[in-house]
Amino acid sequence: MPAVTLDHITKTYDKGKVQAVTDLSFSVEKGELFGLIGPDGAGKSTVFRILTTLLLADKGSATVAGLDVQKDFRKIRGCVGYMPGKFSLYQDLTVEENLRFFAALFGTTLEKNYALISDIYEQIKPFSNRRAGKLSGGMKQKLALCCALVHKPEVLFLDEPTTGVDAVSRKEFWDMLKRLKEEGITILVSTPYMDEADRCERIALIQEGRILSIDTPANIVKAYPEKLYAVKADSIHKLLLDIRLYPDALSCYSFGEYLHVSFRGQDKGPDLQQYLEQKGHGNVVIKETHATIEDSFIRSMGSAKNLPS
């Protein structure tokens, strides 16, 4: 029995004018760390709100912990943990007051499940008498996670928990999630950051309300159809323009230091090198590279729209 299932879920806003999610189907196994990866407006929050029974889908059905989101919403509300996008805690209550409140909300106490949150809570314990509004972004995030966990939920929904938080806290947060997974809690996380995708067991790439692909991160990048090359030269911008003019280039886009390029048909590496040197580029470097989640995402988007080529 999967922990979460979605079956052809469609949701529109504004009397059908805005298509939030269209025909979404996937499932999450118990104890899995599942990532919903996509930019703003992709529909991640909508999916979470439907699963936490805060919104009713227009079409389709969904279950959480084996319960139907429409009929059994009260039961679901009692057994899930939810952290919505905006660090929704009570700013004028202290850390400890917030935690005790959320424990009481779920009919339990802070002490009962302390073992579950102790790792995380120890980090903010020195501030337990500080008002939540005066915490830094990273600490608020840890507190919100504790509040969502304090009643030992079966499924944990974290909607963009790392957005707006500094890089160090982000890394720490994912370390905490990994440890939580070992407790057997099913965790669904949404994030716009492609690099965080690798830290999930399975991910779904979502864009404009549709799923582009679902699989383990490893499988998704393995499934990248073409061979990918990393190309570098002295003048990146000129390089970009010139490669786009190269007739056999299928796709070419910036990727940090390098450009990621794929070709139509056979390996055109050496040919490209010549072409570029003829155009006057210095220090041309062309090497094979592995695709990343971001590459896969871009490619999937391109299948629907024109690639920047």
Residues that bind another protein (CB under 8 A): 13, 38-42, 49, 52-56, 74, 77-78, 80, 82, 84-91, 102, 105-107, 135-138, 147, 163-169, 171, 192, 194-195, 207, 236-237, 240, 253-257, 294, 297-298, 301-302, 305, 308
CB of 251 vs another protein, minimal distance in Å? 10
Q: Which is nearer to another protein, 114 or 255 (CB)?
A: 255
Q: Is 259 helix (H, G, I), strand (E, B) or coil?
A: strand
Q: Which is nearer to another protein, 105 or 115 (CB)?
A: 105
As a three-state string, the secondary structure of 3-32 is: CEEEEEEEEEECCCCEEEEEEEEEEECCCC
Q: Which is nearer to another protein, 172 or 271 (CB)?
A: 172
Rounded distance, CA 223 to CA 221, Å? 5
CB of 148 vs another protein, minimal distance in Å? 8
CB of 75 vs another protein, minimal distance in Å? 9
Using CA atoms, how far residue 188 sits from 54, 163, 204, 263, in Å, is: 16, 15, 11, 36
Q: Which is nearer to another protein, 66 or 192 (CB)?
A: 192
CB of 64 vs another protein, minimal distance in Å? 11
Q: Which is nearer to another protein, 105 or 274 (CB)?
A: 105
Rounded distance, CA 120 to CA 286, Å? 45
CB of 127 vs another protein, minimal distance in Å? 13
Rounded distance, CA 170 to CA 196, Å? 9
Q: Which is nearer to another protein, 240 or 250 (CB)?
A: 240
Question: Token digits for 140?
Answer: 């608020």
Sign of the four-CA dihedral 215, 217, 223, 224: positive
CB of 269 vs another protein, minimal distance in Å? 22
Using CA atoms, how far residue 238 sits from 228, 235, 244, 282, in Å, is: 20, 6, 10, 11
